């Protein structure tokens, strides 16, 4: 695969790219281009090759054939789903590995300061000190000229958002989730022209996802995003690329536009298939009527019939009918599940305490809160996988749990997917309308085509294994579903199928999720881990968007308790959370000059964004006059640079406003 530069309109161009892994063709001769500042959402079912394509674009993997061309001197940053290696490397040294010129200046400044501190002895000490001091003065001048000291504060602010405060700790001391956050922070800190993010919201809580959305939206850098978060796709992306049936389809617009255009594409495909089937039947009838002696003419008609037969084959669609098993056939009794003042502490800190609640039939509850606050701990106690330190949990005799958590189920090796599903479901499973569905049809509804259905389980990708685990949980026919971050490692299509299933599920649903779209579709009540020690665990009537709307006025009450209910004592949790995030130092009063600058920056950013869109539209429309194209390209670069600077200054002032609030 060759890398070089492309025509001036594109920062990246993919031509006839193909990849096969373990005998499975992921994509074949796909091509697309990308313009500066464009933000693309890359979607497709798990196992279709999204992550592989991202690794190829990042230069971390080779394609079987084809090429990727990059604009000259393009700076690229990427963050994928794999963990940074265990290493004695310090967090700050890991961050310094970025390509950011300003960060490299800061690193060199720190190195010289350290060398000066260590230069105490030796005959040439004075000469060496003078040389280092001269270099330090020169770098300090560059740092001031490029506003690098402000940039350093922005870096620290980004790291704080991910809960990273100790820059001198080794990476190997971090948990897996924190190492993934560190890798994402490094990619965001890098002053790149193109940002590649593969499932960046995994392991983030809802508040951090919202911060990430705001941060990426303000940046003028181009973006290719793989995510199951549909709100993120809707807000950030102006174009959708879908990998489907080894091909790639491009849709201008956001996630909702893709839904509409995909439906049109599939309807057209159905009409074409129906037309091909009619013509195929006509060809067969013609061939039956012809005498065998007319060999030459018959041969051409046979070839035509064969081509029509191929076109008439049913195509596997990405939007199947909803999954509606005869779920919860074991009716729930009057007593479903009760928590009697349960509590759990870790390392002398209470993460849950005095939680008392009696679940009702067909409740749909979503649990939200910061990472590490105790959401998964609460779930584990409720399904009796974890013993409370105080209180007790009791389930009704007819309550049957189905648990889909982040650990997943143990899947056998050496067994085909089809055989495994048949073993667990029998010949067929009953649907809510009384009809039966065979194993092959069930697998197809979860996007297992014939090739995947007969693949050995150990050869499945991580996302495909999660889909199979989800099938296994649903086949247990539970009447109380417990879902811990179901969006992690599931693609958008499978999430939509699960949401459709839950709409018709006859039982209780209790889920921890940071996926805002999923919560809006599935739940009608939230259990909120609040940081206010006076409120503790609070119930809120409504979905996630309702809760966000209530949170908008900061002075308003941030939760709504159930009638006659008492908030759970969660003081120790709140105290622990308050120590996890460092307190920002007090800041001087926001001056009138800064207020004027803040307001003018907002207006200027709007003007620059509008002009950037206009220039991109002119370039995309095609310009034959090279001189005019060169002028527009130069203006685009200058406008983008000013926009980036304005974004950075706006962020500094915005953080100052937040501190005052």
CB 224 within 8 A of CB 50: no
pLDDT class for 433, splitting at 50, 70, 90?
low
Task: Find the range with the poorest average confidence among 195-209, 400-414, 457-471, 482-496.
Answer: 400-414
Task: Enumerate the β-bridge partners of residue 538.
Answer: 528
- Is the full-model pTM beyond 0.85? no
- Pick from 33, 164, 8, 1: nearest CA to 90: 164
CB 193 within 8 A of CB 11: yes
pLDDT class for 572, splitting at 50, 70, 90?
very low
Q: Supply the mean pLDDT for the chain.
A: 78
Check residue 576 and give its pLDDT: 32
* Structure-model confidence comparison of residues 460 and 275, the more confident one: 460
Winning range, highest mean pLDDT, from 279-293, 342-356, 384-398, 418-432 = 384-398
Report the helix count and the strand count for the chain, using DSSP H and E: 21, 20
- Pick from 448, 459, 400: nearest CA to 422: 448
Crossing angle of helices 295-312/255-289, nearest 10°? 150
Check residue 605 and give its pLDDT: 78
Cα–Cα distance, 547 to 158 (Å, whole number): 25
* Structure-model confidence comparison of residues 115 and 431, the more confident one: 115
* Structure-model confidence comparison of residues 486 and 571, the more confident one: 486
Residue 650 confidence (pLDDT) above 80 = no
* 469: its two tokens: 């685990």
Q: What is the mean pLDDT of residues 54-69?
A: 94
Q: State what percent of residues in the chain have pLDDT above 70.
A: 72
Check residue 279 and give its pLDDT: 67
Task: Find the range with the poorest average confidence among 10-24, 101-115, 614-628.
Answer: 614-628
CB 660 within 8 A of CB 587: yes
pLDDT class for 9, splitting at 50, 70, 90?
low
* Structure-model confidence comparison of residues 29 and 572, the more confident one: 29
* Structure-model confidence comparison of residues 592 and 33, the more confident one: 33
Q: What is the mean pLDDT of residues 311-315?
A: 57
Q: What is the mean pLDDT of residues 393-397?
A: 92
Winning range, highest mean pLDDT, from 6-15, 161-170, 518-527, 601-610 = 518-527
Residue 213 confidence (pLDDT) above 70 = yes
Q: Is 599 helix (H, G, I), strand (E, B) or coil?
A: helix
Name the one residue in this structure whose structure tokens are 């010949």: 427
Residue 221 confidence (pLDDT) above 60 = yes
* 573: its two tokens: 């949790």
Q: What does R_g of the chain's alpha carbons equal in angstroms?
A: 29
**520-533: per-residue pLDDT in tens?**
999 999 999 876 54
Same fold, 335-400+482-581 and 592-660: no
pLDDT class for 82, splitting at 50, 70, 90?
confident
Kindly list the domain boundaries of the chain, sorted by start residue: 335-400+482-581, 402-477, 592-660
Check residue 555 and give its pLDDT: 36
**317-340: per-residue pLDDT in tens?**
444 444 555 544 566 667 899 999
Alpha helices in 190-313 (DSSP H): 206-218, 230-236, 255-289, 295-312
Q: Say which CATH superfamily domain 335-400+482-581 falls into.
A: P-loop containing nucleotide triphosphate hydrolases (3.40.50.300)
Residue 244 confidence (pLDDT) above 60 = yes
Q: What is the mean pLDDT of residues 385-406?
A: 90
Residue 458: exposure state from Cβ atoms within 10 A (0-12, 13-18, ≥19): exposed
- Count Cα neighbours of 263 within 13 Å in the Cβ-side half-sphere: 5
Task: Find the range with the poorest average confidence among 55-59, 129-133, 444-448, 581-585.
Answer: 581-585
Residue 125 confidence (pLDDT) above 60 = yes
* 183: its two tokens: 């890798």
* 104: its two tokens: 């490299």
Phi, psi of 17 (to 5 degrees): -85, 135
* 631: its two tokens: 């002028």
Check residue 309 and give its pLDDT: 64
Instruction: Tell me the fold of 592-660.
Output: Helix Hairpins (1.10.287)
Q: What is the mean pLDDT of residues 378-383?
A: 91
Distances (CA, A) of 191 to 96, 156, 400: 12, 15, 51
Phi, psi of 535 (to 5 degrees): -110, -35
- Pick from 655, 522, 529: nearest CA to 590: 655
Distance of CA 613 to the CA centre of its chain: 26
Q: What is the mean pLDDT of residues 542-557?
A: 74
Cα–Cα distance, 190 to 331 (Å, whole number): 55
pLDDT class for 133, splitting at 50, 70, 90?
confident
Q: What is the mean pLDDT of residues 434-462?
A: 81
For 282, residues 6+ apart whose C-beta sits below 8 A from its C-beta are none
CB 198 within 8 A of CB 79: yes
* 36: its two tokens: 């500066």
């Amino acid at each position: 695969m060759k890398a070089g530069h492309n025509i001036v309109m594109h920062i990246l161009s993919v031509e006839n790219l193909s990849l096969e892994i373990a005998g499975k063709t992921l994509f074949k001769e796909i091509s697309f281009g990308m313009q500066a500042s464009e933000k693309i959402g890359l979607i497709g079912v798990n196992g279709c090759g999204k992550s592989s394509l991202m690794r190829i674009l990042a230069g971390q993997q080779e394609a079987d054939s084809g090429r990727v061309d990059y604009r000259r001197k393009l700076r690229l940053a990427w963050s994928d789903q794999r963990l940074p290696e265990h290493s004695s490397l310090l967090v700050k040294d890991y961050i310094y590995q970025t390509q950011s010129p300003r960060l490299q200046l800061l690193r060199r400044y720190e190195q010289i300061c350290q060398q000066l501190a260590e230069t105490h002895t030796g005959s040439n000490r004075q000469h060496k000190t003078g040389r280092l001091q001269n270099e330090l003065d020169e770098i300090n001048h560059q740092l001031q000229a490029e506003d690098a000291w402000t940039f350093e504060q922005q870096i620290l602010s980004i790291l704080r958002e991910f809960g990273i405060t100790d820059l001198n700790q080794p990476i190997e001391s971090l948990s897996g989730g924190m190492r993934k956050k560190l890798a994402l922070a490094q990619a965001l800190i890098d002053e790149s022209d193109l940002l590649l993010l593969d499932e960046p919201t995994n392991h983030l809580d809802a508040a951090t996802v919202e911060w990430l959305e705001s941060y990426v939206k303000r940046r003028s850098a181009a973006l290719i995003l793989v995510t199951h978060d549909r709100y993120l796709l809707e807000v950030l992306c102006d174009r959708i690329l879908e990998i489907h049936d080894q091909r790639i389809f491009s849709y201008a617009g956001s996630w909702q536009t893709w839904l509409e255009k995909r439906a049109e594409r599939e309807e057209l495909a159905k009409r074409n298939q129906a037309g091909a089937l009619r013509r195929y039947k006509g060809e067969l009838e013609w061939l039956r009527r012809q005498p065998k002696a007319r060999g030459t003419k018959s041969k051409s008609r046979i070839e035509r019939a064969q081509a029509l037969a191929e076109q008439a084959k049913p195509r596997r669609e990405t939007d199947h009918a909803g999954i509606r098993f005869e779920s919860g056939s074991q009716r729930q009794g009057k007593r479903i599940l009760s928590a009697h003042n349960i509590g759990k502490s870790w390392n002398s800190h209470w993460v849950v305490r005095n939680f008392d609640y009696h679940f009702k039939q067909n409740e749909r509850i979503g649990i939200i809160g910061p990472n590490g606050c105790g959401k998964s701990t609460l779930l584990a106690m409720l399904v009796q996988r974890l013993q409370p330190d105080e209180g007790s949990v009791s389930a009704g005799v007819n309550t049957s749990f189905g648990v889909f958590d982040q650990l997943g189920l143990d899947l056998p090796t050496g067994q085909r997917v089809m055989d495994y599903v048949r073993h667990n479901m029998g010949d067929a499973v009953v649907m809510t309308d009384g009809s039966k569905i065979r194993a092959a049809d069930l697998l197809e509804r979860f996007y297992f085509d014939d090739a995947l259905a007969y693949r050995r389980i150990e050869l499945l990708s991580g996302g495909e294994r999660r889909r199979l685990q989800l099938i296994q949980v649903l086949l247990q026919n539970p009447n109380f579903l417990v879902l811990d971050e179901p969006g992690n490692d599931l693609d958008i299509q499978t999430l939509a199928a699960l949401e459709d299933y839950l709409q018709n599920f006859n039982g209780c649903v209790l889920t921890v999720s940071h996926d805002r779209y999923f919560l809006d579709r599935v739940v009608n009540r939230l259990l909120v881990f609040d940081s206010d020690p006076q409120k503790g665990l609070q119930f809120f009537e409504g979905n996630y968007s309702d809760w966000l709307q209530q949170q908008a006025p900061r002075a308003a009450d941030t939760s709504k308790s159930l009638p006659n209910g008492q908030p759970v004592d969660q003081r120790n949790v709140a105290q622990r959370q308050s120590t996890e995030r460092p307190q920002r130092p007090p800041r001087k009063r926001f001056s009138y000059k800064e207020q004027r600058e803040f307001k003018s920056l907002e207006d200027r950013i709007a003007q620059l964004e509008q002009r950037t869109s206009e220039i991109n539209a002119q370039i995309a429309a095609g310009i034959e006059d090279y001189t005019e194209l060169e002028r527009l390209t130069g203006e685009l670069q200058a406008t983008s640079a000013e926009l980036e600077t304005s974004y950075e200054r706006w962020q500094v002032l915005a953080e100052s406003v937040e501190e005052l609030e």
